Chains A and B, each alone.
Chain A
């Protein structure tokens, strides 16, 4: 879905764009948080964000203000001139989240956004994702059903690459995680 690799079969249409033929256009609209860190360890946090910003259209406020805004929001402004390799995994992850949100994408694909994050960071990221409700499409891939229940409007459960259950907004809050697990295991 992130158009990182070519699909072996089938096709994904993202906002009317074809994942095979319109990769460049899709990447302009998409913010992708991988479970791997997509930052350069020999560059500082600010340099990484500055590098990525060069590939997107500048926001009204300008890139430096946008970067400062994100650094403040994620409470990493004190780390901006530190090399990524010298940061703890939690701070690295926050910079990677800042990279994902940098160009204000309409669609966010977040793969395990809470892994490596301490409780404070988890709260900050949850708050940001909740702030997108009604404004952006956010797809979260996670093994943590409780996180998904708290943040998502809809949930789809996949097992061995196949969709085994889809839960809509009305049933999401009422369903018990333990019951869900037992059903998945069955």
Chain B
């Protein structure tokens, strides 16, 4: 049992590393997402008055909005690329569970979005002229959880939509309503962390994020076998 679990964990890591290797070798997708994110920050920075008392309330929503759309761009190709290059059967013939394939893709998505966040968060701190008043560890936790949610939902939806001809419309249509229970609490928590010094992270918003992540993870694990194999 323990050996089997270790094998699944190793398989997940190999799948994620392979996808990252391919992504970093092609580069054009990650660069187009980064370009979109940086241009968005630049455009928004012109319309925001840094001296307005409402600025700090709006900025968290803008940051998460950029992360969400970057995710949609990134995840629209997670499984569809495998389908387009006819390598989706390669995932099916590997001696791994469909769930390991999903978690591998989620891990890849997590790294991809994290790379983008590592670039855009410092840039937005400069362009939007704001700072976090809370312990940076709390900020880190909230962004990590938001990114996990985005990666999980993005991978699952990309798998669901890979056979659809109109997947460019289908993916955001399914993904956005599913991600809202994670993104909205993330925005509220980030706003709080920009406005005040939070001493306790166990807020209702944080509990909503955790509960939604557990529910979505369980549902994805149960359903993904039908998505990949059927």
Contact = CB atoms under 8 A, between A and B. Distances in A.
Interface of A: 2-6, 23-25, 27-28, 30, 32, 34, 36-43, 47, 51-52, 54-56
Given A5-B229, A37-B86, A43-B22, A54 B92 contact: no
Contacts of A24: 95-97
Contact of B95 (A4, A36, A40, A56): A56
A89 B85 CA distance: 14
A51 B89 CA distance: 15
A2 to B, nearest CB: 7
Given A27-B94, A40-B87, A55-B95, 12 more contacts: A2-B93, A3-B92, A3-B93, A24-B96, A38-B86, A40-B85, A41-B85, A42-B25, A51-B14, A54-B10, A55-B11, A55-B94
A111 to B, nearest CB: 11
A36 B86 contact: yes
Nearest to B4: A24
B85 A5 contact: no
Main secondary structure of the interface of A (DSSP, over half): loop
A38 to B, nearest CB: 4
Nearest to A8: B230
Nearest to A100: B93
22 contacts: A4-B92, A4-B229, A5-B92, A5-B229, A6-B229, A6-B230, A24-B96, A28-B95, A34-B93, A36-B86, A38-B86, A39-B87, A40-B18, A40-B85, A40-B90, A43-B18, A43-B22, A43-B25, A54-B14, A55-B95, A55-B96, A56-B95
